[in-house]
Amino acid sequence: TQWTRAARTRNLGIDPGTPRLGQPQVQSGSLVIVGGGRMPKSVADRFIELAGGPEARIVYLPTAVPRDEARKQGVPRFLQQAEIADVTVLPQMGRREVAEPTFQEALKSATGIWFGGGRQWNFVDAYEDTNAIQLFHDVLARGGVIGGSSAGATIQGEFLVRGHPLGNTIMMAEGYERGFGFLPGTAIDQHFAQRRRQPDLIPVVRQHPKLLGIGIDESTALIVQGHTAEVLGDHAAHFLTSDKLPTADTAAANFASFYHTVKSGESFDLRKIANLDKEPIAN
């Protein structure tokens, strides 16, 4: 499937590994991008608030896991605990299933979408050649919210990292390098500090120097509105730009120092590459 997709895009004159690279901002609506791990109540509450509170109409997409497992998944615990009455689980995959009225109508009326965890390439396989991705973007255009954790975080970027079907240690996989682009101009990684993934975004940003690399710690979220990203939860988020890349002989132990780290409770300007309480990083 990977090589078939890569060959098809090349035949269309598209480089499958080159992102379109829009500005890192959300034109309307909000994003809740969680780095995996435990879901803090503060993050769950913010997602629900942005979706409309008790009147929210939320769609849960469990399709980052294999088809049989996706069909068995119910409403996520954090939504159960919030007692949201209108939550629809959509395990449908592929053109025929996505075209079903149940899928289409739920997304057309949704005020919020939550992407579950698993492997992000499954999202690509589930929705390619369908109108699902446009329906997702339409939720934002209506002022709604899109959220997700782990794989559901990474898929929100424009460049998809760890998309290789054979393993999640491969950062760039031809045919699986396009995310859904809810946050343009970015490549988003998760479980960041906890799995010591600081070195992993460096070759991605080196190969695509206009990308903003974002690493999000577990139990931590970015709340993105416009070009402002608020960090919420237990730990921090980390931002990497091409002008801050380490040299080839930099020791791996020092890689974290090349990131701009933003702690919980702080906000970050994604266009100026600056903590909103500090001076912009010099280019």
| Alpha carbons 152 and 116: distance in angstroms, whole number | 5
pLDDT digit string (tens) for 206-231? Answer: 999 999 999 999 999 999 999 999 99
**Of 155, 131, 124, 123, nearest in space to 31 by CA:** 155
DSSP string, 139-158: HHHTT-EEEEETHHHHTTEE
Q: What phi and psi values does residue 281 have, to the nearest 5 degrees?
A: -70, 135
Q: What phi and psi values does residue 170 have, to the nearest 5 degrees?
A: -90, 115
DSSP H or E stretch at residue 89: strand 86-89
Three-class DSSP category at 256: helix
Could you say which DSSP state residue 107 is in? H
Looking at residues 92-121, what average pLDDT do you find? 97
Contact 97, 70 (CB under 8 A): no
Which of the four pLDDT bands, split at 50, 70 and 90, describes residue 7?
very low
Sequence ranges of the domains in the chain: 19-246+253-270
Strands (E), 90-164: 112-115, 145-149, 157-159
Which of the four pLDDT bands, split at 50, 70 and 90, describes residue 13?
very low
pLDDT digit string (tens) for 20-58? Answer: 678 999 999 999 999 999 999 999 999 999 999 999 999
pLDDT digit string (tens) for 161-201? Answer: 999 999 999 999 999 999 999 999 999 999 999 999 999 99
User: Which residues are 108's β-sheet partners?
Assistant: none
CATH number assigned to the domain covering 19-246+253-270: 3.40.50.880
| Alpha carbons 160 and 153: distance in angstroms, whole number | 10
pLDDT digit string (tens) for 252-282? Answer: 667 778 999 999 999 999 999 999 866 544 4
> What average pLDDT does the chain have?
91
In this structure, the number of other CB atoms found within 10 A of the CB of residue 186 comes to: 27
pLDDT digit string (tens) for 229-241? Answer: 999 999 999 999 9
Three-class DSSP category at 88: strand
Which of the four pLDDT bands, split at 50, 70 and 90, describes residue 12?
very low
Share in percent of the chain as helix, strand, coil (round to 5): 30, 25, 45
